[in-house]
Structure 1
């Protein structure tokens, strides 16, 4: 299937799943909600996913998997989690026998995603995996294979593809309201605050290119509706005493079909949050383009893309729940996450060898 046709199909699924009314007959047994177990109770689970699960319509928080016993009573008291739905990393295989839990959401450091996503798939439960999907494309494929073998659905936590203004940008990649796309600027990064120690470790999938770079890469792909052909890149750091193993900043240039050039950048030392598309007859942007809220934009002819008033993570998890309940394709399947990791590997190769690398 060529890139364009694949994008048309995907766009249709995106817009349909997000905006069409949900039929009352879609659930197999009334208004059942899917039970979600979060694996890893760090910042993202604690501050974002768990609160979002209090706003979802089609799924709810029912279980936790943690290696920190001191966190268990806090979570149980706050969210009413039963003793029988509390697991550690050694006994999480027993979730296979727990009818309360339908989905296992992997929210661990990137370097652990493959191991635990495969364990989750082997329980026979559906798998949600945070981005970036894994450290290598090979690991991504292993996750995909495990989910297919166990006949469970796999979704990657790309919340932006569930966000309404991002979906508009994706639609415009196909409809081209401002003519043929010529250039794209795609940047994601942050500066300030403490960097989680595992994000400084190569073996754990650390570095700006993994943590923030996948936003830039994915945006380059969805804003053009195409797949890149080649890439050049440079990597640098202003804090070599900290960034001994991974990149602090990566700048890359991606070549797309039709002569489209995407200038991408990601960093742990610079605040970056911009997606800008220049076409034959105008331009449009999202700025910020990947914040947890307040994603907004503007066009050259004065259109305003106002922020979505819903919680992004809640929308993401509801969309994924509907796909499971209705046995429909997911908005962001494992193959989508793997494409970005394949590109990450090529960017790292280009930077290491100071060369143009074909994708």
Structure 2
């Protein structure tokens, strides 16, 4: 799999050059990091985990106005060297997984974006918090709600913010639909459908390793439909039912879900019907229906432009790279106290984990699981 969502982004990222040249801190660091308005302090970010998605975030941050990439944390020295050259990272801001706690003594780093495998999120996020730095953690925030709660508590105790990489919360067309729902344009919402899936490749990758991933498609792609149902309907679900289909137990071993259909019930009467899978391509669709109208988005969560329409016509908001908007908005949240349209804090991430736990329980028991 060449990217974190190969079915959504077929074009691979260019390989980082390995033929390194000496790092020039003046031309790279000074020009890049402080290319902001004089009166706006940038959020200085280190990325932990330099894989394909970390690279995507780093490239997107080149166009940020408030967030700047200033450091890296990786267990692979060659990646650190390549990123130093590509992004102008000074040696003093480079760490590995044994030394990253030393960021406590580095005043040039404000926050760390944790983009390591799911099973490492809690350990890494709590380590960053203990070092006194703000935490941005890729979703899912942890592999279960118990771990997520520990992360929330640790960040509160350390006096740092915990944000989760919900890039769709800032995407323009998504926000347009949310605002229409808030304004009553759809009337009473009755139904949501979320389809999230792709055919996963390499069977040896960490996403198919239970201790690393905490699950299968649900943890990786199904969470989009869970989170989407909540922000599209505007309520928190009160019950869950779910059914699992596993056609390839050799590839999808114990604890790694291949396909799960799940249903969520909401207090206002709306029902969500969703599909999460690692065995079908082209599944990236949201549909919201109310008494007065509808919204349909396809693709709904992919890295490229989101496409959609409502009963009032097509959604025409211009596309901006999601991670660019995300990081600038997160800088405003941390530095300015800005309140986002949809929360991206640790409590928001914990809500999704509670639902995921309930879905897995419903699959195992075959029963409806209450969330209240």
TM-score by length of 2: 0.86
* Higher alpha-carbon deviation: 274-283 or 331-340: 274-283
The offset of 1:28, in angstroms, is: 12
Q: Which residue of the other structure, out of 291, 300, 304, is the alignment partner of 2:302?
A: 291
How has the CA–CA distance of structure 1 residues 242 and 90 changed in structure 2, closer, same or farther, with 3 Å as cutoff?
Answer: same
Instruction: Give the equivalent residue in structure 1 for 2:44.
Output: 35
Q: Does 1:264 align with 2:274?
A: yes
Is residue 340 of structure 1 aligned with residue 352 of structure 2?
yes
| Aligned match of 2:133 | 125
Q: Which residue of 2 aligns with 1:139?
A: 147
Contact 2:58 2:69 survives alignment (8 Å): yes
What SS does the aligned partner of 1:258 have? coil
Residues 152-202 of structure 1: per-residue CA shift (max 9 Å, x gap): 111100000010111122223322213211111011111254466211122
The answer as to whether partners of 1:295 and 1:306 remain within 8 angstroms in 2 is: no
Matched, 1:92 2:112: no
Deviation at 1:329, TM superposition (A): 4.2
Map of 1:213 onto structure 2: 222
**1:318 is matched with which residue: 316, 328, 349?**
328
Partner of 1:115: 123
How far residue 281 of structure 1 moved from its aligned partner, in angstroms, is 2.5
Contact 1:169–1:222 (Cα < 8 Å) also in 2: no
CA distance, structure 1, for counterparts of residue 207 and residue 42 of structure 2: 34
* 1:358–1:142 distance in 2 versus 1, CA, 3 Å: same
> How many angstroms apart in 2 are the aligned matches of 1:230 and 1:150?
34
Task: Note if contact 1:198-1:206 (Cα within 8 Å) is conserved in structure 2.
Answer: no
Would the aligned equivalents of 1:163 and 1:308 in 2 still touch at CA under 8 Å?
A: no
Written as runs of structure 1 = structure 2, the 5 A alignment for 1:47-126 is 48-126=56-134
Over the aligned positions, Cα root-mean-square deviation in angstroms equals 1.7
Structure 2 residue runs without a partner (length 5+): 1-35
2:261 maps to 1:251: yes
For 2:143, what is the secondary structure of its paired residue? coil
Counterpart check, 1:227 vs 2:236? yes
Quote the Cα distance in structure 1 between the aligned partners of 2:318 and 2:166. Answer: 16
Matched, 1:351 2:369: no
The TM-score, its normalising length taken from structure 1, stands at 0.89
Structure 1 residue 77 displacement after superposition: 1.1
Is the 8 Å Cα contact of residues 293 and 308 (structure 1) preserved in structure 2? Answer: no
Q: Which residue of 2 aligns with 1:6?
A: none
SS at match of 1:321: helix
- CA 196–155 in structure 1, closer or farther in 2 if over 3 Å, else same: farther
SS in structure 2 at match of 1:252: strand
Greater Cα shift, 109-118 or 273-282: 273-282
The offset of 1:99, in angstroms, is 1.2
Deviates more, 1:107-116 or 1:292-301: 292-301
Structure 1 residue 277 corresponds to structure 2 residue 285: no
Is contact 1:323-1:329 (8 Å) kept?
yes
- SS at structure 1 position matched to 2:289: strand
Assess if the C-alpha contact under 8 Å between 1:249 and 1:266 holds in 2. yes
Give the Cα separation in 1 of the matches to 2:308 and 2:204. 30
Q: Secondary structure at the match of 2:268?
A: helix
SS of 1:257's equivalent? coil
Residues 181 and 187, structure 2, Cα contact 8 Å, conserved in 1: no
Partner secondary structure for residue 62 of structure 2: coil
**C-alpha distance in structure 2 between counterparts of 1:207 and 1:327, whole Å:** 35
Q: Deviations over 1:75-122 (max 9, x none)?
A: 111111111111001110100111111111100111100000000011
Going from structure 1 to structure 2, the CA distance change for 1:31 and 1:259 (only over 3 Å counts) comes to closer
Aligned to 2:21: none
